[in-house]
Amino acid sequence: MTLSSLRQQLLAGQTTSAAILSGLAGEIAARDGRTGAYLSHDLESAMAEAENVDLSLPLGGIPIAIKDNINVLGQPCTCGSRFLAENYRSPYDATVIRKLRAAGAIPFGRMNLDEFAMGSSTENSALQTTRNPHDPERIPGGSSGGPAAAVADFTAIAALGSDTGGSIRQPASHCGVVGLKPSYGRVSRYGLVAFASSLDQVGPLTRSVEDAARILQVIAGLDPLDSTSLEAPVPDYLSGLNDGVKGLRLGLPKEYFGEGIAPGVRRQVEAAVQALAAQGAEVVDISLPHTEYAVATYYVIAPAEASSNLSRFDGIRYGQRAANPADIPDLYKRSREIGFGPEVKRRIILGTYVLSSGYYDAYYSRAQKVRSLIRRDFEAAFTRVDAILSPVAPSPARKLGGASIDPLDEYLSDIFTLAPNLAGICAISVPCGVSAFDGAAALPVGLQILAPHLGEAMLLRIARAAESHE
């Protein structure tokens, strides 16, 4: 059931929060061994919270699964890494967790992810591999593969993930659920373990657009603990959700519909576009000319910020520590060598290189200038259209194992999701059908909808109309 329908049952006295938790625990025991979405779950503490739940609150009694890079007081926060897996327990609640609790929700379950959210398949987790519930021989996407797989597999009602370059939207597309990346600054990042601080954003993965709107309503808003969160009014995201798309102008960027898209993805996305047009939207051809530079720009800026953020993992303050070091430099070196996996090391090395003396101007400084051009492309487009439509990914979920063969191919799979993070705008993935791909008969496909910065109300309204088509 959706979050919204369970809320109706709770309010009608047809179920209880404890019963929902017991049901989820049973589903996890029966199904998660196949999917591997959960790293851990604490039923006892969740049941204790359920005893005192206030059903009058917006999310009263609803368990929400949490990606394991968001801090929950007293719970593990492994980030999918050996560095934090053994002995770290969070000493505080992230702001989004505090807001969920204040709205009556119960954080339940720690969800698998690519290590430190660096990856697009959840194969880069150091702890376990998560599989796509539609086909266990395929990836669920990443880095929020655990949350997306659990919501799709009915072992979670809804979840929180993080999105740095597509890490909510791409797994939502691959698993056939809704995934929302809010605008940069709309949701506090305090308590989210930082990957790339100018790109990261927390958002929901759900089974319906209405559920995503309900969660965003709770977690959005200014947070004094996060200097990047914005002092901007939070609209009522539910009030205009069913207003439809009649009279809206929706842009199709030619750069997002070129070569390299699987035929089935193109067909399903084009069918979703036609359905929105049939509901009264005007479809307009547009151009985002600097799209071709998005992947290169992202893979300079994000690793640069990651190399700085991950310097705190040094074997001194918390986490993995090498035994019997010869001296302090040896402690740093060996702790990081055994604590970090190959993809994290790759990105730290790349980020340190582009920030180093003699290369900063050639790479990092230039990438920031191109980022400005990408943002201006979107600003210009949004003077002509209300929102932009595109695929989420060039293909449905690939088979497990590809990332270890060619990491560059993995990076290129995010080509349609990186630019919205670079521009700071909001974006959502909505299921728009299924497609045959690489030997599989029916794999989910997502429609990506992009709206201007702080344009979540419009984004959700269009997503709801697209959802009604699917």
Cα–Cα dist 26/155, whole Å:
9
Whole-model pTM: value is: 0.97
DSSP assignment of 412-466, as one string? Answer: HTTTTTHHHHHHT-EEEEEEEEEEEETTEEEEEEEEEEEE-TT-HHHHHHHHHHH
Residue whose C-alpha is closest to residue 272's, from 419, 152, 385, 173: 173
Residue 143 bears catalytic tag: yes
Q: Which residues of 262-282 are buried (b: 16+ CB within 10 A; e: fewer)?
A: bebbeebbbebbebbeebebe
Query: How far from 412 is each of 133, 195, 395, CA to CA, in Å?
Result: 24, 19, 11
Which pLDDT tens digits describe the chain residue by residue (470 residues)? 899 999 999 999 999 999 999 999 999 999 999 999 999 999 999 999 999 999 999 999 999 999 999 999 999 999 999 999 988 999 999 999 999 999 999 999 999 999 999 999 999 999 999 999 999 999 999 999 999 999 999 999 999 999 999 999 999 999 999 999 999 999 999 999 999 999 999 999 999 999 999 999 999 999 999 999 999 999 999 999 999 999 999 999 999 998 899 999 999 999 999 999 999 999 999 999 999 999 999 999 999 999 999 999 999 988 889 999 999 999 999 999 999 999 999 999 999 999 998 899 999 999 999 999 999 999 999 999 999 999 999 999 999 986 555 777 788 889 999 999 999 999 999 999 999 999 999 999 999 999 999 999 999 999 999 998 75
Domain housing 320: 1-470
- Annotated catalytic residue within 81, 120, 125, 143: 143
Annotated catalytic, 90?
Answer: no
Active-site residue 183, yes or no?
A: no
Residue 390 backbone dihedrals phi, psi, to 5 degrees: -165, 170
Q: How many domains does the chain have?
A: 1
d(C-alpha 355, C-alpha 399), whole Å: 35
Say which of 90, 120, 167, 307 is annotated catalytic: 167
Do the beta carbons of residue 217 and residue 238 sit within 8 Å? yes
Locate tokens 């009058």: which residue?
56
* CATH number of the domain bearing residue 191: 3.90.1300.10
CA dist 105 → 100, 234, 340, 398 (Å): 5, 20, 33, 34
212 and 428 in contact (C-beta within 8 Å)?
yes
DSSP 404: H
